[in-house]
Structure 1
Amino acid sequence: MIGAISTPVIIEACKKSSITDGTTSGSGSGSAGTTTSTNGSCTVAPTETEGPFPTKVPASYVRSDITDGRTGYKMTAKITIGNINNSCAALAGAIVDIWHCDAEGNYSEYGGSGMQSTNYQSVHFLRGRQTTDANGLVTFTSIFPGWYSGRATHIHVHVYNAAGTSLMVTQIAFPEGSGSSVALVNGYSKGLTGYTYNNADNVFSDDKTGIEIATVSGTLTAGFELTFKVNVKA
Protein backbone atom coordinates (compact mmCIF):
# COMPACT_ATOMS: atom_id res chain seq x y z
CA MET A 1 0.00 0.00 0.00
CA ILE A 2 1.03 3.58 -0.49
CA GLY A 3 2.97 5.11 2.37
CA ALA A 4 1.74 8.06 4.37
CA ILE A 5 1.66 11.00 1.97
CA SER A 6 1.18 14.63 2.75
CA THR A 7 -1.69 15.24 0.32
CA PRO A 8 -1.64 19.06 0.30
CA VAL A 9 2.08 19.06 -0.52
CA ILE A 10 1.68 16.69 -3.46
CA ILE A 11 -1.36 18.50 -4.83
CA GLU A 12 0.51 21.81 -4.71
CA ALA A 13 3.57 20.30 -6.38
CA CYS A 14 1.47 18.67 -9.10
CA LYS A 15 -0.41 21.81 -10.12
CA LYS A 16 -0.29 23.00 -13.70
CA SER A 17 2.76 24.78 -14.97
CA SER A 18 2.49 28.54 -14.89
CA ILE A 19 2.93 28.62 -18.67
CA THR A 20 -0.13 26.47 -19.30
CA ASP A 21 -3.00 28.29 -21.00
CA GLY A 22 -5.64 26.40 -19.04
CA THR A 23 -6.86 27.14 -15.55
CA THR A 24 -7.22 24.71 -12.67
CA SER A 25 -10.57 23.86 -11.21
CA GLY A 26 -12.24 21.21 -9.16
CA SER A 27 -11.25 19.45 -5.98
CA GLY A 28 -12.12 16.32 -4.10
CA SER A 29 -12.75 12.90 -5.55
CA GLY A 30 -15.21 13.88 -8.29
CA SER A 31 -16.98 11.16 -10.25
CA ALA A 32 -16.23 8.82 -13.11
CA GLY A 33 -15.89 10.88 -16.27
CA THR A 34 -17.38 10.18 -19.68
CA THR A 35 -15.22 12.54 -21.73
CA THR A 36 -14.51 11.30 -25.25
CA SER A 37 -10.89 11.68 -26.24
CA THR A 38 -10.07 13.76 -29.30
CA ASN A 39 -6.37 12.99 -29.01
CA GLY A 40 -4.72 12.45 -32.37
CA SER A 41 -5.92 15.64 -34.01
CA CYS A 42 -3.41 18.35 -34.88
CA THR A 43 -3.62 20.01 -31.48
CA VAL A 44 -0.88 20.74 -28.98
CA ALA A 45 -1.60 19.22 -25.57
CA PRO A 46 -1.30 21.59 -22.61
CA THR A 47 2.08 21.97 -20.97
CA GLU A 48 1.94 20.34 -17.54
CA THR A 49 4.20 20.20 -14.53
CA GLU A 50 7.16 17.81 -14.58
CA GLY A 51 7.23 17.42 -10.78
CA PRO A 52 7.29 16.45 -8.09
CA PHE A 53 8.92 13.14 -9.11
CA PRO A 54 10.77 13.61 -12.45
CA THR A 55 13.49 11.18 -13.50
CA LYS A 56 16.76 12.48 -12.10
CA VAL A 57 19.08 11.27 -14.89
CA PRO A 58 16.77 10.25 -17.76
CA ALA A 59 19.58 9.61 -20.25
CA SER A 60 20.65 6.69 -18.05
CA TYR A 61 17.42 4.75 -18.70
CA VAL A 62 17.27 4.17 -22.44
CA ARG A 63 15.06 1.10 -22.52
CA SER A 64 11.69 -0.08 -23.79
CA ASP A 65 10.81 -2.35 -20.84
CA ILE A 66 10.58 -0.10 -17.80
CA THR A 67 8.87 -2.60 -15.48
CA ASP A 68 12.03 -3.25 -13.46
CA GLY A 69 10.42 -5.95 -11.33
CA ARG A 70 7.29 -4.05 -10.30
CA THR A 71 4.16 -6.17 -10.15
CA GLY A 72 0.86 -5.17 -11.71
CA TYR A 73 -1.27 -5.64 -14.80
CA LYS A 74 0.84 -5.50 -17.94
CA MET A 75 0.52 -2.37 -20.04
CA THR A 76 2.09 -1.50 -23.39
CA ALA A 77 2.29 2.24 -23.99
CA LYS A 78 2.54 3.37 -27.63
CA ILE A 79 3.21 7.09 -27.87
CA THR A 80 3.44 8.89 -31.20
CA ILE A 81 5.09 12.29 -31.59
CA GLY A 82 3.86 14.64 -34.29
CA ASN A 83 5.27 17.94 -35.52
CA ILE A 84 2.63 20.67 -35.47
CA ASN A 85 4.85 22.74 -37.78
CA ASN A 86 4.47 19.99 -40.40
CA SER A 87 0.71 19.32 -40.21
CA CYS A 88 1.37 16.99 -37.26
CA ALA A 89 3.28 14.53 -39.42
CA ALA A 90 5.35 11.94 -37.58
CA LEU A 91 8.47 13.31 -35.94
CA ALA A 92 11.34 10.84 -36.22
CA GLY A 93 14.35 11.06 -33.94
CA ALA A 94 12.56 12.74 -31.03
CA ILE A 95 13.55 11.68 -27.52
CA VAL A 96 10.67 10.64 -25.26
CA ASP A 97 10.91 10.14 -21.50
CA ILE A 98 8.06 8.67 -19.49
CA TRP A 99 7.58 7.92 -15.81
CA HIS A 100 4.71 6.94 -13.53
CA CYS A 101 3.93 5.48 -10.12
CA ASP A 102 3.67 1.79 -9.29
CA ALA A 103 0.54 -0.16 -8.31
CA GLU A 104 0.67 1.24 -4.79
CA GLY A 105 1.11 4.85 -5.88
CA ASN A 106 4.83 5.14 -5.17
CA TYR A 107 7.56 6.57 -7.41
CA SER A 108 11.09 5.28 -7.75
CA GLU A 109 14.05 7.62 -7.07
CA TYR A 110 12.15 9.32 -4.23
CA GLY A 111 10.82 8.64 -0.76
CA GLY A 112 11.77 8.71 2.88
CA SER A 113 10.08 12.08 3.35
CA GLY A 114 6.66 13.55 4.01
CA MET A 115 5.71 13.41 0.32
CA GLN A 116 6.33 9.64 0.13
CA SER A 117 7.25 7.75 3.25
CA THR A 118 8.39 4.57 1.46
CA ASN A 119 12.00 5.08 0.42
CA TYR A 120 12.70 4.14 -3.19
CA GLN A 121 15.60 6.51 -3.77
CA SER A 122 18.00 3.77 -4.86
CA VAL A 123 15.81 2.15 -7.54
CA HIS A 124 14.54 3.32 -10.93
CA PHE A 125 11.40 1.36 -11.79
CA LEU A 126 8.78 2.64 -14.24
CA ARG A 127 11.06 5.19 -15.89
CA GLY A 128 12.48 5.05 -19.38
CA ARG A 129 13.60 6.81 -22.54
CA GLN A 130 13.19 5.92 -26.20
CA THR A 131 13.82 7.63 -29.55
CA THR A 132 10.96 7.80 -32.04
CA ASP A 133 11.16 5.71 -35.20
CA ALA A 134 10.25 6.79 -38.74
CA ASN A 135 6.58 6.72 -37.72
CA GLY A 136 7.20 8.99 -34.75
CA LEU A 137 6.49 6.05 -32.43
CA VAL A 138 7.99 4.86 -29.17
CA THR A 139 6.80 1.75 -27.34
CA PHE A 140 7.21 1.01 -23.66
CA THR A 141 6.38 -2.14 -21.71
CA SER A 142 5.21 -1.30 -18.22
CA ILE A 143 2.42 -1.95 -15.72
CA PHE A 144 -0.88 -0.14 -15.36
CA PRO A 145 -0.24 2.77 -12.97
CA GLY A 146 -1.80 2.93 -9.54
CA TRP A 147 -2.99 6.15 -7.96
CA TYR A 148 -2.24 8.37 -5.01
CA SER A 149 -4.32 10.88 -3.12
CA GLY A 150 -5.25 14.02 -5.03
CA ARG A 151 -4.46 12.73 -8.53
CA ALA A 152 -6.15 10.69 -11.22
CA THR A 153 -4.25 7.84 -12.88
CA HIS A 154 -1.62 9.40 -15.14
CA ILE A 155 1.70 9.11 -16.97
CA HIS A 156 4.28 11.88 -17.26
CA VAL A 157 5.86 12.59 -20.66
CA HIS A 158 8.80 14.81 -21.59
CA VAL A 159 9.65 15.21 -25.28
CA TYR A 160 12.98 16.53 -26.61
CA ASN A 161 14.30 17.03 -30.11
CA ALA A 162 17.26 14.98 -31.33
CA ALA A 163 19.66 17.63 -30.00
CA GLY A 164 18.19 17.34 -26.51
CA THR A 165 16.22 20.60 -26.50
CA SER A 166 12.98 20.34 -24.53
CA LEU A 167 9.87 20.53 -26.73
CA MET A 168 7.03 19.56 -24.39
CA VAL A 169 6.29 18.38 -20.86
CA THR A 170 2.79 16.98 -20.48
CA GLN A 171 0.76 14.24 -18.80
CA ILE A 172 -1.46 11.46 -20.12
CA ALA A 173 -4.87 10.81 -18.55
CA PHE A 174 -6.84 7.55 -18.66
CA PRO A 175 -10.47 7.00 -19.75
CA GLU A 176 -12.86 6.49 -16.85
CA GLY A 177 -16.36 5.18 -16.31
CA SER A 178 -18.04 1.79 -16.51
CA GLY A 179 -15.97 -0.77 -18.40
CA SER A 180 -12.90 1.48 -18.62
CA SER A 181 -9.41 0.29 -17.76
CA VAL A 182 -9.47 2.37 -14.57
CA ALA A 183 -12.68 0.64 -13.50
CA LEU A 184 -11.31 -2.81 -14.38
CA VAL A 185 -8.08 -2.34 -12.44
CA ASN A 186 -10.08 -0.78 -9.59
CA GLY A 187 -7.06 0.75 -7.93
CA TYR A 188 -5.44 -2.64 -7.37
CA SER A 189 -5.72 -3.53 -3.66
CA LYS A 190 -6.61 0.06 -2.72
CA GLY A 191 -9.88 0.19 -4.59
CA LEU A 192 -11.23 3.51 -5.82
CA THR A 193 -12.54 4.93 -2.56
CA GLY A 194 -11.10 8.45 -2.37
CA TYR A 195 -9.90 8.33 -5.98
CA THR A 196 -9.70 11.68 -7.78
CA TYR A 197 -11.33 11.45 -11.22
CA ASN A 198 -10.17 13.47 -14.23
CA ASN A 199 -12.94 16.04 -13.86
CA ALA A 200 -11.69 16.93 -10.36
CA ASP A 201 -7.96 16.46 -10.96
CA ASN A 202 -6.00 19.72 -10.72
CA VAL A 203 -4.11 18.91 -13.95
CA PHE A 204 -6.85 17.37 -16.13
CA SER A 205 -10.02 19.12 -14.95
CA ASP A 206 -9.86 21.83 -17.63
CA ASP A 207 -9.37 19.36 -20.48
CA LYS A 208 -12.93 19.69 -21.78
CA THR A 209 -12.26 18.07 -25.16
CA GLY A 210 -10.23 15.11 -23.93
CA ILE A 211 -6.96 15.85 -25.73
CA GLU A 212 -5.00 14.55 -22.73
CA ILE A 213 -6.97 11.29 -22.51
CA ALA A 214 -5.34 8.24 -24.08
CA THR A 215 -7.07 5.37 -25.84
CA VAL A 216 -6.74 2.27 -23.66
CA SER A 217 -7.91 -1.23 -24.57
CA GLY A 218 -7.39 -4.69 -23.13
CA THR A 219 -8.25 -6.89 -20.17
CA LEU A 220 -6.81 -7.80 -16.79
CA THR A 221 -5.73 -11.19 -18.16
CA ALA A 222 -4.26 -10.11 -21.49
CA GLY A 223 -2.96 -6.76 -20.30
CA PHE A 224 -3.68 -3.28 -21.62
CA GLU A 225 -2.53 -1.24 -24.60
CA LEU A 226 -2.38 2.54 -24.36
CA THR A 227 -2.06 4.73 -27.44
CA PHE A 228 -1.53 8.46 -27.35
CA LYS A 229 -0.25 11.20 -29.66
CA VAL A 230 1.75 14.19 -28.49
CA ASN A 231 2.04 17.01 -31.00
CA VAL A 232 4.94 19.42 -30.48
CA LYS A 233 6.37 22.43 -32.25
CA ALA A 234 9.60 21.10 -33.71
Structure 2
Amino acid sequence: MERKNFLRSLIIGAASAPVFLDACKKDSSDSTASTETVSNTGSSSASNSCTVAPTETEGPFPTKAPASYVRSDITDGRSGYKTTVKITINSTSTCAALANTMVDIWHCDAEGNYSEYGGSGMQSTNYTSVHFLRGRQTTDANGVVTFTTIFPGWYSGRATHIHVHVYNSSGTSLKVTQIAFPEGTGSAVAIVNGYGKGLTGYTYNKSDNVFSDDSTGIEIATVTGSIAAGFELTKLINV
Protein backbone atom coordinates (compact mmCIF):
# COMPACT_ATOMS: atom_id res chain seq x y z
CA MET A 1 0.00 0.00 0.00
CA GLU A 2 1.45 3.31 -0.98
CA ARG A 3 2.08 5.85 1.73
CA LYS A 4 1.38 8.98 -0.26
CA ASN A 5 2.65 12.31 0.97
CA PHE A 6 4.59 10.58 3.76
CA LEU A 7 7.53 12.96 3.53
CA ARG A 8 5.19 15.90 3.78
CA SER A 9 3.63 14.47 6.92
CA LEU A 10 7.07 14.07 8.51
CA ILE A 11 7.80 17.72 7.90
CA ILE A 12 4.48 18.75 9.44
CA GLY A 13 5.02 16.40 12.39
CA ALA A 14 8.48 17.82 13.03
CA ALA A 15 6.99 21.26 13.56
CA SER A 16 5.49 20.19 16.87
CA ALA A 17 7.72 18.29 19.28
CA PRO A 18 5.92 15.16 20.52
CA VAL A 19 6.15 14.29 24.20
CA PHE A 20 6.93 10.58 24.74
CA LEU A 21 6.81 8.35 27.78
CA ASP A 22 9.16 5.47 28.33
CA ALA A 23 7.28 2.48 26.95
CA CYS A 24 7.45 0.57 30.25
CA LYS A 25 6.74 3.40 32.70
CA LYS A 26 3.62 5.25 33.78
CA ASP A 27 3.33 9.01 33.45
CA SER A 28 3.36 10.72 36.84
CA SER A 29 2.21 14.02 35.33
CA ASP A 30 -0.95 15.67 36.63
CA SER A 31 -1.93 16.82 33.15
CA THR A 32 -5.45 16.21 31.93
CA ALA A 33 -4.22 14.18 28.97
CA SER A 34 -2.27 11.76 31.14
CA THR A 35 -5.21 11.00 33.44
CA GLU A 36 -8.04 11.11 30.92
CA THR A 37 -9.49 7.64 30.43
CA VAL A 38 -10.91 6.22 27.24
CA SER A 39 -14.67 6.71 27.07
CA ASN A 40 -15.50 4.89 23.84
CA THR A 41 -14.45 1.42 22.73
CA GLY A 42 -14.90 -0.92 19.82
CA SER A 43 -17.87 -2.77 18.41
CA SER A 44 -18.93 -5.47 20.88
CA SER A 45 -21.57 -6.88 18.54
CA ALA A 46 -19.03 -7.59 15.84
CA SER A 47 -16.60 -9.16 18.31
CA ASN A 48 -19.23 -11.57 19.64
CA SER A 49 -20.08 -13.07 16.26
CA CYS A 50 -18.37 -15.82 14.27
CA THR A 51 -17.97 -13.59 11.24
CA VAL A 52 -14.66 -14.19 9.52
CA ALA A 53 -12.19 -11.33 9.76
CA PRO A 54 -11.72 -9.42 6.50
CA THR A 55 -8.58 -10.26 4.55
CA GLU A 56 -6.38 -7.20 4.14
CA THR A 57 -3.03 -6.38 2.60
CA GLU A 58 0.17 -6.95 4.58
CA GLY A 59 1.09 -3.48 3.40
CA PRO A 60 4.49 -2.45 2.11
CA PHE A 61 6.27 -3.20 5.43
CA PRO A 62 5.66 -6.82 6.51
CA THR A 63 8.10 -8.47 8.91
CA LYS A 64 10.94 -9.92 6.87
CA ALA A 65 11.68 -12.90 9.16
CA PRO A 66 8.75 -13.22 11.59
CA ALA A 67 9.90 -16.56 13.03
CA SER A 68 12.97 -14.74 14.38
CA TYR A 69 10.88 -12.51 16.66
CA VAL A 70 9.12 -14.87 19.05
CA ARG A 71 8.53 -12.47 21.95
CA SER A 72 5.71 -10.91 23.91
CA ASP A 73 7.37 -7.53 24.57
CA ILE A 74 7.92 -5.97 21.15
CA THR A 75 8.77 -2.40 22.22
CA ASP A 76 12.48 -2.99 21.55
CA GLY A 77 13.40 0.37 23.05
CA ARG A 78 10.81 2.53 21.26
CA SER A 79 9.35 5.37 23.30
CA GLY A 80 5.59 5.80 23.54
CA TYR A 81 2.53 5.14 25.66
CA LYS A 82 2.48 1.59 26.98
CA THR A 83 -0.18 -0.58 25.35
CA THR A 84 -1.10 -4.19 26.03
CA VAL A 85 -2.52 -6.00 22.99
CA LYS A 86 -4.65 -9.10 23.63
CA ILE A 87 -5.83 -10.97 20.55
CA THR A 88 -8.11 -13.99 20.59
CA ILE A 89 -8.13 -16.30 17.58
CA ASN A 90 -11.32 -18.29 16.98
CA SER A 91 -12.42 -20.71 14.30
CA THR A 92 -15.29 -19.50 12.14
CA SER A 93 -16.50 -23.07 11.64
CA THR A 94 -16.87 -23.85 15.34
CA CYS A 95 -16.74 -20.43 17.06
CA ALA A 96 -14.21 -22.09 19.37
CA ALA A 97 -10.78 -20.86 20.37
CA LEU A 98 -7.82 -21.97 18.25
CA ALA A 99 -4.91 -23.07 20.43
CA ASN A 100 -1.33 -23.44 19.15
CA THR A 101 -1.89 -20.86 16.42
CA MET A 102 0.93 -18.48 15.52
CA VAL A 103 0.10 -14.77 15.50
CA ASP A 104 2.42 -12.10 14.10
CA ILE A 105 1.78 -8.41 14.69
CA TRP A 106 3.61 -5.29 13.56
CA HIS A 107 2.90 -1.55 13.50
CA CYS A 108 4.56 1.84 13.16
CA ASP A 109 6.21 3.75 16.01
CA ALA A 110 5.05 7.00 17.59
CA GLU A 111 6.39 9.00 14.65
CA GLY A 112 4.76 6.80 12.01
CA ASN A 113 7.89 4.85 11.00
CA TYR A 114 8.32 1.09 10.55
CA SER A 115 11.38 -0.91 11.46
CA GLU A 116 13.21 -3.02 8.85
CA TYR A 117 12.55 -0.41 6.15
CA GLY A 118 13.47 3.14 5.19
CA GLY A 119 15.84 5.24 3.21
CA SER A 120 13.38 5.52 0.34
CA GLY A 121 10.56 7.72 -0.89
CA MET A 122 8.03 5.72 1.10
CA GLN A 123 9.90 6.24 4.39
CA SER A 124 12.82 8.61 4.51
CA THR A 125 14.08 7.59 7.96
CA ASN A 126 16.24 4.50 7.60
CA TYR A 127 15.38 1.75 10.08
CA THR A 128 16.51 -1.19 7.96
CA SER A 129 18.82 -2.55 10.66
CA VAL A 130 16.37 -2.60 13.59
CA HIS A 131 13.26 -4.65 14.34
CA PHE A 132 11.10 -2.73 16.82
CA LEU A 133 7.33 -3.23 17.17
CA ARG A 134 7.29 -6.66 15.53
CA GLY A 135 6.67 -9.98 17.22
CA ARG A 136 5.20 -13.47 17.19
CA GLN A 137 3.34 -15.44 19.84
CA THR A 138 1.52 -18.79 19.91
CA THR A 139 -2.06 -18.85 21.21
CA ASP A 140 -2.77 -20.55 24.52
CA ALA A 141 -5.63 -22.99 25.25
CA ASN A 142 -8.06 -20.06 25.10
CA GLY A 143 -6.79 -18.89 21.72
CA VAL A 144 -5.16 -15.81 23.26
CA VAL A 145 -1.86 -14.06 22.61
CA THR A 146 -0.65 -11.02 24.55
CA PHE A 147 1.88 -8.43 23.44
CA THR A 148 3.40 -5.45 25.24
CA THR A 149 3.98 -2.56 22.88
CA ILE A 150 3.39 1.19 22.51
CA PHE A 151 0.38 2.98 21.12
CA PRO A 152 0.91 3.31 17.35
CA GLY A 153 1.42 6.71 15.80
CA TRP A 154 -0.09 7.69 12.47
CA TYR A 155 1.17 8.67 9.05
CA SER A 156 -0.37 10.32 6.04
CA GLY A 157 -3.04 8.29 4.23
CA ARG A 158 -3.77 5.75 6.98
CA ALA A 159 -5.80 5.53 10.15
CA THR A 160 -4.14 4.16 13.29
CA HIS A 161 -3.79 0.39 12.84
CA ILE A 162 -1.99 -2.84 13.68
CA HIS A 163 -1.15 -5.53 11.13
CA VAL A 164 -1.88 -9.19 11.97
CA HIS A 165 -0.88 -12.42 10.22
CA VAL A 166 -2.22 -15.72 11.58
CA TYR A 167 -0.71 -19.13 10.80
CA ASN A 168 -1.63 -22.64 11.91
CA SER A 169 0.86 -24.74 13.87
CA SER A 170 2.34 -26.07 10.62
CA GLY A 171 3.07 -22.58 9.36
CA THR A 172 0.25 -22.38 6.80
CA SER A 173 -1.20 -18.89 6.47
CA LEU A 174 -4.77 -18.65 7.77
CA LYS A 175 -5.46 -14.92 7.67
CA VAL A 176 -3.80 -11.59 6.94
CA THR A 177 -5.79 -8.71 8.39
CA GLN A 178 -5.53 -5.38 10.20
CA ILE A 179 -6.92 -3.98 13.45
CA ALA A 180 -8.57 -0.55 13.52
CA PHE A 181 -8.90 1.75 16.54
CA PRO A 182 -12.03 3.50 17.87
CA GLU A 183 -12.05 7.22 17.06
CA GLY A 184 -13.80 10.36 18.17
CA THR A 185 -14.01 12.41 21.36
CA GLY A 186 -12.72 10.47 24.36
CA SER A 187 -11.08 7.75 22.27
CA ALA A 188 -7.47 6.70 22.80
CA VAL A 189 -6.66 8.09 19.35
CA ALA A 190 -7.95 11.50 20.46
CA ILE A 191 -6.20 11.36 23.84
CA VAL A 192 -2.83 10.37 22.37
CA ASN A 193 -3.33 13.11 19.76
CA GLY A 194 -0.59 11.90 17.47
CA TYR A 195 1.98 12.22 20.26
CA GLY A 196 1.80 15.99 20.01
CA LYS A 197 1.58 16.04 16.23
CA GLY A 198 -2.17 16.48 16.46
CA LEU A 199 -4.79 15.01 14.14
CA THR A 200 -4.76 17.63 11.41
CA GLY A 201 -4.49 15.63 8.21
CA TYR A 202 -5.31 12.38 9.99
CA THR A 203 -7.16 9.78 7.88
CA TYR A 204 -10.15 8.46 9.83
CA ASN A 205 -11.45 4.89 9.52
CA LYS A 206 -14.34 5.94 7.30
CA SER A 207 -11.90 7.39 4.76
CA ASP A 208 -9.13 4.83 5.16
CA ASN A 209 -8.64 2.67 2.07
CA VAL A 210 -8.50 -0.47 4.23
CA PHE A 211 -11.22 0.20 6.81
CA SER A 212 -13.68 2.36 4.85
CA ASP A 213 -15.80 -0.64 3.81
CA ASP A 214 -16.10 -1.97 7.37
CA SER A 215 -19.74 -0.94 7.87
CA THR A 216 -20.26 -3.18 10.93
CA GLY A 217 -17.05 -2.26 12.72
CA ILE A 218 -15.76 -5.81 12.75
CA GLU A 219 -12.18 -4.60 12.38
CA ILE A 220 -12.38 -2.11 15.25
CA ALA A 221 -10.82 -3.22 18.53
CA THR A 222 -11.90 -2.42 22.07
CA VAL A 223 -9.43 0.01 23.68
CA THR A 224 -9.50 1.03 27.34
CA GLY A 225 -7.18 2.80 29.76
CA SER A 226 -5.30 6.09 29.85
CA ILE A 227 -1.88 7.54 29.19
CA ALA A 228 -0.99 7.31 32.89
CA ALA A 229 -2.21 3.74 33.44
CA GLY A 230 -1.46 2.47 29.96
CA PHE A 231 -3.89 1.32 27.30
CA GLU A 232 -5.28 -2.16 26.71
CA LEU A 233 -6.47 -3.29 23.29
CA THR A 234 -8.55 -6.45 22.95
CA LYS A 235 -9.63 -8.00 19.67
CA LEU A 236 -11.31 -11.21 18.56
CA ILE A 237 -10.22 -12.39 15.12
CA ASN A 238 -12.11 -15.23 13.49
CA VAL A 239 -10.22 -17.22 10.84
Which TM bucket (shorter chain)? 0.7 to 0.9
Deviations, residues 69-120 of structure 1 (Å, cap 9, x unaligned): 000000000000001121x110000000000000000000000000000000
Shift of 1:166: 0.1
Q: Which residue of 2 aligns with 1:164?
A: 171
Task: Give the residue type in structure 2 aligned to 1:186.
Answer: N
- Looking at structure 2, the residues matched to 9 and 223 of structure 1 have their Cα atoms a distance apart, in angstroms, of 28
Deviations, residues 189-211 of structure 1 (Å, cap 9, x unaligned): 21101000000000000000000
Match of 2:209, SS state, is coil
- Looking at structure 1, the residues matched to 181 and 187 of structure 2 have their Cα atoms a distance apart, in angstroms, of 9
Moved over 3 A (4+): 33-37
- Looking at structure 1, the residues matched to 148 and 3 of structure 2 have their Cα atoms a distance apart, in angstroms, of 30
Structure 1: gaps of 5 or more residues: 11-32
Shift of 1:218: 0.3
Is the 8 Å Cα contact of residues 40 and 228 (structure 1) preserved in structure 2?
Answer: no
Is the 8 Å Cα contact of residues 6 and 114 (structure 1) preserved in structure 2?
Answer: no
Structure 2: gaps of 5 or more residues: 8-39
Structure 2 vs 1, CA of residues 34 and 63 (structure 1 numbering), >3 Å: closer, same or farther? Answer: closer
Is the 8 Å Cα contact of residues 6 and 155 (structure 2) preserved in structure 1?
Answer: no
Is the 8 Å Cα contact of residues 35 and 208 (structure 1) preserved in structure 2?
Answer: no
TM-score of the aligned structures, taking structure 2 as reference length: 0.83
Match of 2:93, SS state, is helix
1:76 aligns with 2:49: no
Q: Which residue of 2 aligns with 1:222?
A: 229
How many residues end up aligned between the 2 structures? 205
TM-score of the aligned structures, taking structure 1 as reference length: 0.84
Q: Which residue of 2 aligns with 1:40?
A: 48
Calculate the aligned-residue CA RMSD, in Å: 1.8
Q: Which residue of 2 aligns with 1:30?
A: none
Q: Which residue of 2 aligns with 1:27?
A: none
- Looking at structure 2, the residues matched to 34 and 171 of structure 1 have their Cα atoms a distance apart, in angstroms, of 17
Question: What pairs up with 1:54-203 in 2 under 5 angstroms?
Answer: 54-86=62-94, 88-203=95-210
Shift of 1:9: 8.8
Task: Give the residue type in structure 2 aligned to 1:162.
Answer: S
Choose from 4, 8, 26 the match for 1:7: 4
Shift of 1:36: 3.9
